[in-house]
Structure 1
Amino acid sequence: MPGQYHLPASTDDRLSVIDRLSTLPFPLTEERPGSDGTWGGPGYHLAVLRESQDFWEDRGEEIVEAAESEIEADLATLAAVLTGRWGEPESVDLSPFLGFDNPDPDFVAPEPLGSLSGLAGAMQVWRLPSCDRWIALAIGQADPEWPIWLLAAVGEASALPQARPAPRAQ
């Protein structure tokens, strides 16, 4: 899947994807990722807004750090715009949605939290005041050799109350 997307090239393009997904009806069934890097299912949308190079050939520390820095800068830029619109985001720890500590053996995390928890440790969330949705940004990576992704998620408000705040950096 890496490298197959036609991703938004600028901050304005990325914001357009976020705006479109925030109002787009949720699919009735699970959708596979499209060539535009978006997919979804009942109650959610996900989008890859930016992806770094992959690390199959070279996973050197300097190369990975440079890629992480670029993705983090793009996240910070988008977060500043979204914060200007909707106020400070919540930081949500995604580790509980992996289910490792859940005593229920049949636990399945609601989407998109289940998918995001397999890619990222935390996300920044803005609750949309005009509807029962939230928007999140996260940085994730499916495997150390794969690209680092800047991800956007839109979900139903009902999926988020189960979330716990992410631990604050000391």
Structure 2
Amino acid sequence: MTTGAPEAVSHEAPGRYLPVIDGMTVRPFPEADFEDAAGYGGPACCVRVPRASQDFRDGEYHRALDRAGAEMSAGLGALAAALTVRWGDPLAVGPGPYPEAGFGGRTAPEPVGRLSQSACGMQARTVPDSGRRIGLTVGRHGTELPLALMAVASRTPRPAPGAGGGG
């Protein structure tokens, strides 16, 4: 089910969310794992949530989830188009072995482990002359929690499960 809201979101998203991306390309990575109102991360990866839906605890769960999904997809599409103009076509990145790491007794380093549990994949672009990659995805951390448009900055390839790092 589609309403007029996704189109409105898609027109406002790039101008509204690009400052978040710009900050992620220059701000130093934190020295330790963190979580705050705008996202979470650690020394090798930072996740920011420029837009989130409401939570899904009401009786209109499926209808609200469909609307939120359409809005987040529109926002993701508009922001992705703006980044394509800036930095070129994205590379599609899947969660790889991270969601299953715990079944083999290994752990995925954080925040990569948490991110892989909330999103099925992302669009990633290398930011020229910065040594960083910026990824975009839509996901959520639980069935009743908000759907979120997430921007991810990393300076290294994703570490292998069990290759160090903890939560």
TM-score normalised by structure 2 residue count: 0.80
Separation in 2 of the partners of 1:85 and 1:11?
12
Separation in 2 of the partners of 1:40 and 1:150?
15
Alignment-derived partner of residue 40 in structure 2: 39
Alignment coverage as a number of residue pairs: 150
Deviation at 1:40, TM superposition (A): 2.4
* 1:59–1:145 contact (8 Å) kept in structure 2: no
Residues 1-170 of structure 1 mapped to structure 2, 5 A cutoff:
10-33=13-36, 35=37, 37-100=38-101, 105=105, 107-159=106-158
Deviation at 1:93, TM superposition (A): 0.8
More helix by share: 2
Provide the secondary structure at the position in 1 that maps to 2:22. helix
Provide the secondary structure at the position in 1 that maps to 2:157. helix
Deviation at 1:116, TM superposition (A): 1.2
**RMSD of aligned C-alpha atoms?**
2.2
Deviation at 1:101, TM superposition (A): 8.3
Provide the secondary structure at the position in 2 that maps to 1:118. helix
Separation in 1 of the partners of 2:136 and 2:26?
16
Separation in 1 of the partners of 2:39 and 2:139?
15
1:110 to 1:131, Cα distance in 2 relative to 1, 3 A: farther
Provide the secondary structure at the position in 2 that maps to 1:88. coil
Provide the secondary structure at the position in 2 that maps to 1:126. strand
Deviation at 1:39, TM superposition (A): 3.0
1:84 to 1:10, Cα distance in 2 relative to 1, 3 A: closer
Greater relative contact order, per chain length (Cα 8 Å cut-off, separation 6+): 2
* Residue ranges of structure 2 left out of the alignment (5+ in a row): 1-11, 161-167
Provide the secondary structure at the position in 2 that maps to 1:136. strand
Provide the secondary structure at the position in 1 that maps to 2:97. helix
Superposed structure 1 runs of 4+ greater than 4 Å apart: none
Provide the secondary structure at the position in 2 that maps to 1:96. coil
TM-score normalised by structure 1 residue count: 0.78
Deviation at 1:76, TM superposition (A): 0.2
Deviation at 1:98, TM superposition (A): 1.7
* Residue ranges of structure 1 left out of the alignment (5+ in a row): 1-8, 163-170
